[in-house]
Amino acid sequence: MSARRVVVVGAGHAGFTVCATLRTLGWDGELTLIDSDHTLPYQRPPLSKKVLAGEQTLDDAHFRPHDFYGHYGIDLVLGHPVVAIDRVERAVQLDGRPPLSYDHLVLATGARPRPLRLEVLAGLGPESVCYLHTADHSSDLRERIAAGKRVVIIGGGFIGLEVASMAACAGKDVIVFEVADRLMDAPFQPPSRSTSMIFTKPPASTCGCRAPCRRCNASWIDSSCTTGSRA
């Protein structure tokens, strides 16, 4: 085993960026990017926008072409989900492939849609419900919207409303369910007190230095500099 192997699990934006940044910063060890999807790493946002609307193909959403990974020495392991991590042996167990050892492991798997409990929805089977997380989901959803008359969306955040907009533009009846009191509730919550402290202007310190000060460690929140030294 190489003494310098980084394994990244998850080929979304975070996983891809980790690999690209390591090479940009000069990392010359082995670098492997794993994902359960079979296609080249791609951006997720277009799946609910132009890819879903049929205005772009998945090729347009790829982070980089295939040659990029070979040129920068990034080994792609696609279509093989990670089923377990052996922390003692420092190896990831893959479905349909031998284990892959690592020196450093990055988990960048992101989030997944919460599956519905279909048994509580009378008369609704799995064939009536689809999720939006992968390119295959986007393709399936596009075909369903084209063939249907009414689209029911659970979730009034960015993704749900983008799908609703696309379906409405296609002439479909659209209903959006959201558990919160208003749409887009989570992204636009009022900032907490601690957050507002962090993002306000730097406070003036007692000695007149401008926080953050390297000598007295006066920060954006704590400006108790007493050295009289400016950073």
Q: In this predicted model, what pLDDT tens digit does every residue of 97-115 receive, in sequence order?
A: 999 999 999 999 988 888 8
Residues 41, 69: Cα–Cα separation, whole Å: 10
Q: What is the reported pLDDT for 159?
A: 92
Residues 173, 165: Cα–Cα separation, whole Å: 11
Q: What is the reported pLDDT for 179?
A: 87
Taking alpha carbons only, the member of 151, 156, 149 closest to residue 177 is: 156
Residues 215, 226: Cα–Cα separation, whole Å: 10
The answer, yes or no, to whether residue 224 has pLDDT greater than 60, is no
Domains of the chain as residue ranges with CATH: 5-107 (3.50.50.60), 118-177 (3.50.50.60)
Q: Count other C-beta atoms under 10 Å from residue 108's C-beta.
A: 19
The answer, yes or no, to whether residue 120 has pLDDT greater than 60, is no
H or E stretch at 13: helix 13-24
Residues 196-212 have a mean pLDDT of 43
Confidence grade of residue 116 (pLDDT, cut at 50, 70, 90): confident
**Residue found under tokens 């558990």:** 179
Which tokens in the block code for residue 137? 């989901």
Helix ranges (H only) for 25-157 are 50-53, 58-61, 66-71, 135-147
> For the chain, how big is the Rg over CA atoms in Å?
24
| Amino acid at site 142 | R
Sign of the dihedral through C-alpha 140, 143, 148, 153: positive
Phi-psi region of 199 (alpha: psi -120 to 50; beta: other; left: phi over 0): alpha
The answer, yes or no, to whether residue 206 has pLDDT greater than 70, is no
Q: What is the reported pLDDT for 130?
A: 87
Q: Angle of helix 135-147 relative to helix 158-169, nearest 10 degrees?
A: 40
Q: Are 223 and 205 in contact (CB under 8 A)?
A: yes
Which tokens in the block code for residue 207? 């000695």
Cis peptide before 187 (omega within 30 of 0): no
Q: Are 206 and 229 in contact (CB under 8 A)?
A: no
